[in-house]
Structure 1
Amino acid sequence: MKSQKNKLPQIDTSNGIEFGLYTLGDIVTNPHTGIRMSEKERIDQIIEMALLAEQAGMDVFQVGESHQEHFVSQAHMIILSAIAQATKDIKLTSGATIISTSDPVRVYEDAATIDLISDGRFEIVAGRASRVGIFDLLGYKLDDYEALFEEKLDLLLKINRNKRVTWEGEFRAPLNDAQVLPRPDNESGSLPIWRAVGGSLNSARNAAIAGIPLYLAYLGGPAEAFRHLTDAYRETAVREGYDVNTLPVATASYLYVREDAQKAFQEYYPHVNSGMVHSNGQSFPKQQFAQGLDSRSIINVGDPSLVIEKLLYQHEVFGMDRYVGQIDLGGVSTDDIKRTIDLLATKVIPEVKKHTKK
């Protein structure tokens, strides 16, 4: 077996897969009530959601980064720092940090600081950006989309593995025996770093070649349509000489639970559609969302029994070690977030964990 140079997340699935929530920090009008939060109210809601997730016994909470109108997550690391101070036990991750348009040194400084504040609970999910306006905003060329990501992720991983770094690349000034501080307070002095992958097969393979965990986020469709990504990841890891059993996989998707499945879809679709219109400039096809009633769909919306069935099916397909759901897209109220978390904690998560124990 190839020696593992990267620090990996400590995920114990003897009690079932890890379960958590993620937010991208969108801020839009609630389509049911016509109420739109202020930016402060939305940030406060995200912090409260993290506290509620911890109180419900969830394993992880994740905040993504976006730099466009209708979002409050431009400085997602600062929000995560506030959550680190407010919570005690839940793991915290970025999801994703757009490493392509960020300086890896600065990302590491911020992440290591949050790890110290949280007593060792922080992880980085590094992504490429699904909303590409960030490239113009932060002064990068979209033509360099792939090259920027690969180079900067390589530097971030090197910083993570080495207290002193000598490095040279195309898109930033070289480092010569540079010391990047602070360092996490653990034996390795490093952090778990995941690679976020959408639908790119090469990206999944590159995660395996680097020997880092795979994070997959989906909007819709049958789970089976994405199996090739996790299969390619694990097959490549084996060819590279890694112990595939030590490389975690995480999946993410829409999540919304109500006592009645039809009501769940009726309530959450307007939120998802509004969120998509404001973030991506196009609606989410209603018929495609309705196909989420199929237990093989990646859209984890429904009553508790349907959502449990979906997650267990997805576990058969992907063998994921961690699942995180997005319950707050499109102006969902705090009361509705609380209802979802309560149903997850009392009905869904215990059953999913019971049936995914290893």
Structure 2
Amino acid sequence: MSDIEFGLDTFGGVTHDHSGAADTHPEVIANLVGDGVVADELGLDFFAVGEHHRPDFAVSAPELVLAAIAARTSSIRLGSAVTVLSSDDPVRVYERFATLDGISGGRAEIVAGRGSFIESFPLFGYDLKDYDVLFDEKLDLLSKLVRSQPVTWSGTTRASLTDQSVFPTTAAPMPVWVGVGGTPESVVRTARYGFGLFLAIIGGAPSRFKAYVDLFDRAQDQFGVPRAPVAVHSPGLVAETDEKARDLVYDGWLAFRTKLGAERGWGPVGPDEFEHEIERGSLYVGGPETVATKIAATLRTLKVNRFDLKYDQPVPHAVQRSSIELYGDKVVPLVKDMLAGG
């Protein structure tokens, strides 16, 4: 497991200062660009920025933010987490990421997904009743664009293409992942296209996703495609001690979980659920050794190729930046040592 990669993901969630006042969207974006630069300086492998279209998240155009990071970094790979492909145009997605690939010297990766929110559908004129066909057809077209041009394609969700080339070109094919929340159909579809599997494990025991990793392996064998990598994305925060980390995260976690629960009809939560997610679920909150031990256990169980910590917990940005530094300086080396020790 010596070749496992370690990354950071952010949705650009709006942060607050210590008085509780919300940071502006420009402040959040500027801080996020700085986070990417620090991640590169720490020697991390991957930095991903998600796409949302709602007031509690500042980033609606991840490629622009990633381009700003690319211009100030040299090594870290850069991608989305995720690009909401269902409500976008695969041609434009390809063009934007190919441009990012050129700016970054070949470091761009596409993580395509349906998205966990639906605001982009009415915003861009799509009907939710077409939810499945939109993603299926657009993923099919994207697969052709990144692998071989010119492209001939037809479907029901956009204009057909006949021997069409799309620019700019890239020096090598861009890696593509599919963000999956945990349905067997999504796992099999990802395998069929030969894309990487990007598992969003945001609640419950990570071990329950072992069945999906195994299914992905079997499906790739069945389709006769080369083995593609698997990544895990999970939320967390690192502080100097377990107690401090819990204290920093709880209020914001509860507020966001309560707000999201009200939108989606979930039941109320409280301290018991918070502790359960830290102790046995998918919330990586604690001091460096605690978080490293939990990440190492997840990697041993799932045998994946990359672990990404979604670091943008609802805390002041200074706390997020400290968490990034502890993750890169202490947690990742500890995990590597633990895995090397068996």
- TM-score relative to the length of structure 2: 0.93
Q: Which amino acid aligns with 2:144?
A: K
Contact 2:8–2:308 (Cα < 8 Å) also in 1: yes
> Offset of 1:209 from its aligned partner?
1.6
Q: Quick one: which of 312, 315, 330 aligns to 1:328?
A: 312
Aligned equivalent of 2:98:
112
Structure 2 CA distance, aligned partners of 1:278 and 1:178?
45
Contact 1:275–1:329 (Cα < 8 Å) also in 2: no
Aligned equivalent of 1:21:
8
Q: Quick one: which of 283, 288, 302 aligns to 1:304?
A: 288
- Between 280-289 and 299-308, report the one with greater CA deviation: 280-289
Aligned equivalent of 1:70:
56
Q: Quick one: which of 159, 164, 169 aligns to 1:183?
A: 169
Structure 1 CA distance, aligned partners of 2:114 and 2:175?
18
Q: Relative to 1, partners in 2 of residues 1:110 and 1:348: Cα closer, same or farther, differing over 3 Å? A: same
Q: Secondary structure at the match of 1:191?
A: coil
Aligned equivalent of 1:268:
249
Q: Does 1:210 align with 2:197?
A: no
Gaps of 5+ in 2: none
Q: Quick one: which of 195, 199, 203 aligns to 2:182?
A: 199
Q: Which amino acid aligns with 1:21?
A: L
Q: Deviations over 1:17-58 (max 9, x none)?
A: 11111111121545x531211111111010011011111111
Aligned equivalent of 1:292:
277
Structure 2 CA distance, aligned partners of 1:83 and 1:274?
30
Contact 1:194–1:213 (Cα < 8 Å) also in 2: yes
> Offset of 1:239 from its aligned partner?
1.9
> Offset of 1:242 from its aligned partner?
3.1
Could you tell me the percent identity over the aligned residues? 36
Structure 2 CA distance, aligned partners of 1:284 and 1:46?
29
Structure 2 CA distance, aligned partners of 1:312 and 1:202?
28
Aligned equivalent of 1:313:
297
Gaps of 5+ in 1: 1-12
Aligned equivalent of 2:335:
352
Q: Secondary structure at the match of 2:71?
A: helix
Structure 1 CA distance, aligned partners of 2:183 and 2:224?
22
Q: Secondary structure at the match of 1:181?
A: coil
Contact 1:272–1:284 (Cα < 8 Å) also in 2: no
> Offset of 1:96 from its aligned partner?
0.3
- TM-score relative to the length of structure 1: 0.89
Q: Which amino acid aligns with 2:122?
A: D
Q: Quick one: which of 112, 123, 129 aligns to 2:115?
A: 129
Q: Deviations over 1:224-246 (max 9, x none)?
A: 222221121112112222343xx
Contact 1:28–1:274 (Cα < 8 Å) also in 2: no
Q: Relative to 1, partners in 2 of residues 1:193 and 1:292: Cα closer, same or farther, differing over 3 Å? A: same
Contact 2:236–2:313 (Cα < 8 Å) also in 1: no
Q: Relative to 1, partners in 2 of residues 1:349 and 1:67: Cα closer, same or farther, differing over 3 Å? A: same
**Count of aligned residue pairs for this structure pair:** 337
Contact 2:67–2:100 (Cα < 8 Å) also in 1: yes
Q: Deviations over 1:5-25 (max 9, x none)?
A: xxxxxxxx64x4111111111
Structure 2 CA distance, aligned partners of 1:276 and 1:184?
41
Contact 2:16–2:317 (Cα < 8 Å) also in 1: no
> Offset of 1:277 from its aligned partner?
4.9
Structure 2 CA distance, aligned partners of 1:328 and 1:108?
27
Structure 2 CA distance, aligned partners of 1:119 and 1:279?
38
Q: Which amino acid aligns with 1:229?
A: Y
Q: Relative to 1, partners in 2 of residues 1:304 and 1:46: Cα closer, same or farther, differing over 3 Å? A: same
Q: Does 1:236 align with 2:225?
A: no
Aligned equivalent of 1:4:
none
> Offset of 1:93 from its aligned partner?
0.6
Q: Relative to 1, partners in 2 of residues 1:262 and 1:353: Cα closer, same or farther, differing over 3 Å? A: same
Structure 2 CA distance, aligned partners of 1:352 and 1:185?
34
> Offset of 1:260 from its aligned partner?
1.8
Q: Quick one: which of 255, 258, 266 aligns to 2:236?
A: 255
Structure 2 CA distance, aligned partners of 1:277 and 1:23?
20
Structure 2 CA distance, aligned partners of 1:35 and 1:210?
45
Contact 2:289–2:334 (Cα < 8 Å) also in 1: no
> Offset of 1:307 from its aligned partner?
1.0
Contact 2:313–2:320 (Cα < 8 Å) also in 1: no
Q: Secondary structure at the match of 1:86?
A: coil
Aligned equivalent of 1:8:
none
> Offset of 1:139 from its aligned partner?
0.5
Aligned equivalent of 2:32:
46
Structure 1 CA distance, aligned partners of 2:19 and 2:274?
21
Q: Relative to 1, partners in 2 of residues 1:275 and 1:47: Cα closer, same or farther, differing over 3 Å? A: farther
| Structure of greater relative contact order (alpha carbons < 8 Å, 6+ residues apart) | 1
Structure 2 CA distance, aligned partners of 1:303 and 1:19?
18
